[in-house]
Amino acid sequence: MGKNDLQKVRKFFLVGLVLVITGGSLTGCTSIRKKFIRKKKTADHAEDFIPVLQPVEYKRADQSSFEKYKEQYTMARAYFKDAEDTMGSVNAGSKQQVYALNQLIVRLQSMADLLPGEKKAELEQVVIGVRNIVKEYDKPAPLRRYDILKGAMRNVEKAVRADFKPDMVKGEFEAP
């Protein structure tokens, strides 16, 4: 093959390539055109109506004093568990322990407020016992005797479970 033949093949190839590119640009592929042509936004999204609902106030459920007492007792048991867990944990800080004890005091005081008569005075004595345990946290940590505090908490918990279970004090409440 000579030099002339090689130049003819190149010219023929170049002319063919130019024709293919020109033909492609004039006709184009419709899928490629669709890909690069931006469509106009429709007005459907702008006209969507979102209704504003009026709030509905529901009547508060009436609970008897006994039902409230049962709720407070259940919460007190949970805080007994939290206090016991934090007193036994090395990772728990004093603030966490005092918080659990203070929440326990709140629950026990709420229970006492719901109780009538003698049982109320008895439960308030138990609350004073828990407050005395909280006072021990005023001492620096190395001077606290956690074994004594745990024992006092167990005694308080036993007293509450023995004397102030909802089943034990049900007779103290008036019949609904």
pLDDT in tens, the chain (176 residues): 677 788 888 888 888 888 878 776 766 666 666 777 777 776 655 566 677 888 888 888 888 888 888 999 999 999 988 888 887 666 667 888 889 899 999 999 998 998 888 888 888 999 999 999 889 888 887 787 888 888 898 999 998 888 888 888 888 776 44
Does residue 17 belong to any structural domain of this protein? Answer: no
Number of structural domains found in the chain = 1
Does residue 146 belong to any structural domain of this protein? Answer: yes
Rounded distance between C-alpha atoms, residue 139 and residue 28, angstroms: 87
- Dihedral pair phi/psi, residue 165, rounded to 5°: -60, 150
Domain that holds residue 97: 65-172
Does residue 70 belong to any structural domain of this protein? Answer: yes
Does residue 21 belong to any structural domain of this protein? Answer: no
Quick one: angle between helices 65-88 and 94-114, nearest 10? 160
Rounded distance between C-alpha atoms, residue 56 and residue 37, angstroms: 49
* pTM for this entry: 0.61
Rounded distance between C-alpha atoms, residue 77 and residue 74, angstroms: 5
> What residues contact residue 72 under an 8 Å CB cut-off, 6+ apart?
107, 110, 111, 114
Lookup: tokens for 58: 């529901």
Does residue 40 belong to any structural domain of this protein? Answer: no
- DSSP summary character for residue 171: G
Does residue 143 belong to any structural domain of this protein? Answer: yes
Does residue 37 belong to any structural domain of this protein? Answer: no
Does residue 36 belong to any structural domain of this protein? Answer: no
- DSSP summary character for residue 29: -
